[in-house]
Amino acid sequence: MIALYLLVASCQSSPAPQNTQETSKVVSTSDSALYYLDVVERNVLSPAGYTRAAAHFVAQDSLIKTDAAHLMKAGLTCMNQDGKYRLYGVNYLILLTNKFPQDRYAPEALLQLALFFDSELGGNERSVAFLRVLLKRYPEHALATDAQALLDLISVSETGEIQTVRDWLNKE
């Protein structure tokens, strides 16, 4: 009798399996990366807001790394603030170009990296490398013309002519 009961009990449908992994719901609040991604999208971020946004992007890094648009917005935001998050921005744009090379933001990310290294970090060699990658990967892209022009400008600046022009403009 007990064996029959165990057989019947084991054949009954079990209760619906419960999800042991709690699904985390990402909500856009003023203390979330999603909120700041939206603010960046609408171009209403104040200068002081760049650092606050960058802090949220870094804190919610796993969300930012899931989407090319998130990486682009977070990368540019981090690079445009004067605090400790600037290099996170560089990393976000590099990750975008490697993880999402076919995304529409990838050529722009390469161009932004080249500009940043040239103007902010004085890294002409690294800047040239990013421009060459852009030209090789996306020769037909609209930004290829700009990349080639920047590459030509950097090569001219290595001869010192650009520095002469900069010195002259700074005196004006």
Could you please report the per-residue DSSP string of the chain? Answer: -HHHHHHHHHHSPPPPPP-SSPPPPP---TTSHHHHHHHHHTT---HHHHHHHHHHHHHTHHHHTT-HHHHHHHHHHHHTSSSTTHHHHHHHHHHHHHH-TTSTTHHHHHHHHHHHHHHTS--HHHHHHHHHHHHHH-TTSTHHHHHHHHHHHHHHHTTTHHHHHHHHHHH-
Report helix, strand or coil for 109.
helix
Check residue 25 and give its pLDDT.
44
Check residue 161 and give its pLDDT.
57
Nearest-angstrom CA–CA distance, 127 and 102: 21
Check residue 4 and give its pLDDT.
33
Check residue 131 and give its pLDDT.
92
Check residue 88 and give its pLDDT.
95
Q: What is the pTM of this model?
A: 0.72
Check residue 9 and give its pLDDT.
35
pLDDT, one tens digit for every residue, the chain (172 residues): 333 333 333 344 434 444 434 333 444 455 689 999 998 888 888 888 889 999 999 999 999 999 999 999 999 999 988 878 999 999 999 999 999 999 999 999 999 999 888 777 666 788 889 999 999 999 889 999 888 888 888 776 555 555 666 666 666 5
Check residue 157 and give its pLDDT.
57
